[in-house]
Chain A
Amino acid sequence: MSGRRSRNSAGIRGPHSALTDFLAANNISAQEIRDSYRQRLQRAEQDAAAVSEENGEGPATQAQGGDDEGQREDVQAESSAMAVERTRKRKRDQEDAIAKIKKGKESKKKAAKSKKKKRGSDDEGDSDFDFEDMYKKAKKLPGQLENCELCEKRFTVTSYSKAGPDGGLLCTSCGKEMTKEAKATAKAAKPVIRKARRKIESNRLDGITTRGPKTLQQLCIEKLAKHADDIEELGEMPDAIMNRLSEIFSKKRAINPTTVKLFLQPDMDTVVIHEAASLETEDFDQVFAVVPNITKLALRNCCQFKDTNVEYMIEKAKKLKDIQLLGANLVSNDKWVDLFIARGHDLRSLKLEWLDAAFDDQAVEALTTFCPNLERLKLERCKQLGVDSIDAIARLEKLEHLTLRFCKDVPRDRLVNLVSQIGTNLQTLCLENFIDSAIEDIEGEYQTESDDLLLDTIHNTCRHLTKLRFTENHECSDQGYVNLFTEWENPPLRYIDFNATRDVDNSNPDGPEDFPIGLASVGFKALMAHSGSRLEYLDVASCRHITHETFANIFDGVKQYPHLQEINMSFCPVVDTQIVAAIFRSCPKIKKVVTFGCFEVADVVVPRGIVLIGAPKAQDAIEQFGDVVMDFQKELMREMEKDRAMMARVVVPVMA
C-alpha cells in the first residue's frame, strides 16, 4: 500500500490498479478518457444553460468553453506523454475546486468514509467512485450561479457554500441553518452517552452492581448529595443513613464549613467526616461545641486540625473513647502527649495515619503509659516512629487489634518480642511492609529458623486471631508459612492477606526453586487446610511462587469454601480460566474475584451476582458482571427455597 502511494505521489490520489498501469504503459490514460467525457457533459450543460437564459451570463460560459477548446487543441499538439501529465494536473485542480465547494463537515465525513471503503475494497474502487461522480450533475465552481437546493433561490457559489442533503449546493442562509442543526444534533447526541458510560464504569469499580434499579434509599441519598448546598437541616436521621450521607458528601468533596453543620447535632455520639480538607480550624472547634457527648471522632485529611483544637477537645469532649485522625500534621508532639495524659484512661481506640512532622517515639511512649486500656491501635505511615515505638507498644497488654505500617526499618527480634508479649489477646494483627530485615550481627547466608522466627512466634503465641495481614515481606520462607498453619491452635481465620510475599530478584523471577521464599505452593495448601472452612476474604496478590497445580488442587470445583466472599489473585501469572471457573463452583458465596495481570484468564462465563475484575483479555470491559445463571447456582437456589419453606412452616404455628 505504502509503496503504491509513493509511486502515485505525482498525480492521482488513491490506489492504482494493474489495468491502469497497463493502460499507462500503452499511452492510454483512463484519466484522459474520463476527463474528456466530463468536459463533454459540462459543455452540453453549459450550452443548454446558454440557450435557456438570455442574460449576460451566456457569453462568459461560452468563452470558458472556448478556452477549454483551445487548451484541448494545445494538448493534442503536444506529445502524448505530456498530454497525460497535463490532463492529470487539470484534473487535480478541478478536484481541488470541487473539494473546496464541498467543504461542509458532512461532505468531508462522506469523503473519509468513501476513502476508507476504497482502501478496504479492491483497487478498482477508485474508478467506481469516480464513475458515480460522473453521472451526477457537475458541481458549480466558485463564482458561478446556482439554485439553492432547499429554497430554490438563485445565489453565487463561493468556496464556503455548503453541500445540501442530496448533494447539491445551498445558499448562505440555508447553509447556516444546516450547520446550526448539525451542531445541535451533535450536541444532543454526544454527552448523554459519554456521561452514562463514565458513570457506569465508575460504579463498577466501586463495586456497585449495575443489574436492576438502585434502592430508593440510594437514589434519595444521591439526590441529596447533588443538592448539598440547598439543604438547611437534615433532621433526625438513622445513624446508618447519616454515615452514608457523610461518605457520599466526602467522596464528592462537598464537605465545607457550611455543609459540615448538617452532620453535627447535639444528641449525636459519633462524628465521622472522611474528607475534612476544606474545613478550617474553627470548624473543628464547632464539632466539640455542638456535640459535647461525642464518644467517637473520625476525621480524615484534617489538615487544619491544630494544637488549639486538641486543647478544646480535651476541655469539651469528656466522653471521647475512640479517635481517628488522618493527616493531622499541625498537632505538635507535646499536644499529643497532653491529649494522652488528659483522655488516656478512657481511650479505647486510637488510629493515626500519615503523620510526618510530629508524633515521634516519645509520643508513643506517653501513649503506652497513659492509655493502659487501649484495645485498638493503628499507626500507619507515621514517619517519625522507629524501634522504640515497637518496644513501647509491646507493653499495651489489653490490645486486641493492632495495625502497624512503619517507614523505618525494624529489626526482626523487636517485632518477635512485640508479638510474643501481646500476641495472646490479639484478634487482629496487621503488619504491613515490614521487610523483616535480619539483625546485622547474624552471620551466614540463610538462617532458616531466624528468617521465619516471626511466623513461628505468631504460631506459638496467637490463639484468638481472626484477621491476619502480613504483606510485602520477602524474607520469610514457604516453610515458615507451612509451620504457621500446621497444627496451629488458633481457630480458622476469617480474613487473610499475604499479598506480595515473594522473592524479589530481577534476575531470577521464579525465586530459589528448592527453597521457595514467600507464600508458595505448600504454604498456600496449609493455609487453606487450616482456614478454608471459615475464610471470608483472601488476598494472595503477587504471591508469584504458587504453582498452577496448587491452585487447581485447592479450587477443584468439588472442595467447598462456604464463606469465601472475595479473593484477590492479581499478578499470580499461573491463574487461568480453569481456576477462575473452579472458584465460582468451589465458593458458593463468592462476590468478587480480582485477577489483574492474570493473562491466562480469558472468555470466562461469569455467573450472576459475581464480579470479575481485571481480566485483561475480556475485551469489552475490565470488569465483568455475571449474567448467566449456572446449573450449580440453580441447585443452590432450589435448596434455599426449600430452606425458606421449611422456615415458614416452622414459624407459622409459633406466630399463630
Chain B
Amino acid sequence: MAQKLSEYVTLVSSDGFEFKVLRSAACIAGTIKKALDPSYGFREGSENRMKFENINGVILEKVCEYLYYNQKYAEARDVPDPEIPPELCLELLIAADYLDV
C-alpha cells in the first residue's frame, strides 16, 4: 500500500448524482471495496471514483445511508433496523446483491 488513500471516495449513480462517502463506509460493500483497492489496479482505485450504470440516484442514496448506518452500528448489539420504503425494496435488494452488502 504505497499510495496514500484519500479519506473520501465518490460514488456516481446512473443518472449522474454524486455521493461523497467516507472510504471506510464505502468499503463495507464488498464490490466497492474490491474495485477501490489500489492493489488490484483498477481505474476506480486510482481515481477514487466509482460509477454505477445500473443504480439510480434514489437507490444509491439509500445505499449510502445504509453504509453509514452499518458503520455506526458495527460494534453494537441489538441494532434498530433502519426504515426502508417498501416501494424501493426490490430495486434496493438487487443493488444490495450487486454491491455485496
Contact = CB atoms under 8 A, between A and B. Distances in A.
Contact of A227 (B40, B76, B86): B86
A221 B93 contact: yes
B41 A652 contact: yes
A196 interface: yes
A618 interface: no
A86 interface: no
B97 A238 contact: yes
Interface in B11-67: 39-41, 63, 66
Given A210-B78, A223-B84, A216 B66 contact: yes
Given A217-B96, A237-B94, A212 B75 contact: yes
B99 to A, nearest CB: 8
Among B90, B99, B101, residue most surrounded by chain A Cβ atoms (within 10 Å) = B90
A213 B78 contact: no
Nearest to A222: B81
A223 B39 contact: no
Contact of A224 (B39, B81, B93): B93
B97 A224 contact: no
A655 interface: yes
Nearest to A227: B86
Given A210-B77, A223-B84, A224-B89, A215 B96 contact: yes
A186 B92 CA distance: 37
Nearest to A652: B39
Interface in A187-242: 196, 200, 210-217, 219-224, 226-227, 230-231, 234-235, 237-238, 240-241
A226 B85 CA distance: 12
A223 B101 CA distance: 16
Contacts of B90: 220, 224, 231, 234-235
Contacts of B78: 196, 200, 210
B27 to A, nearest CB: 14
Contact of A216 (B74, B76, B77, B96): B96
Contacts of B41: 652, 655-656
B64 to A, nearest CB: 11
Contacts, number: 77
Nearest to A233: B90
Interface residues of B, number: 28
Contacts of A656: 41
A219 B84 contact: yes
Contacts of A213: 69-70, 73-74, 76, 79
Contact of A230 (B75, B84, B86): B86
B32 to A, nearest CB: 12
Contacts of A230: 86
Given A237-B94, A655-B41, A214 B89 contact: no
Nearest to B38: A652
A220 B93 contact: yes
Nearest to B29: A216
A213 to B, nearest CB: 5
Given A215-B96, A216-B63, 16 more contacts: A200-B78, A210-B79, A212-B73, A212-B75, A213-B79, A216-B92, A219-B66, A219-B82, A220-B84, A220-B93, A223-B84, A227-B86, A235-B90, A238-B97, A241-B97, A655-B39
15 contacts: A210-B77, A211-B75, A212-B70, A216-B92, A217-B96, A220-B96, A221-B93, A224-B90, A230-B86, A235-B90, A625-B77, A648-B1, A648-B39, A652-B41, A655-B41
**Top 9 A-B pairs ranked by shortest CB distance?**
A220-B93, A216-B96, A655-B41, A216-B101, A217-B96, A648-B39, A213-B73, A213-B79, A656-B41
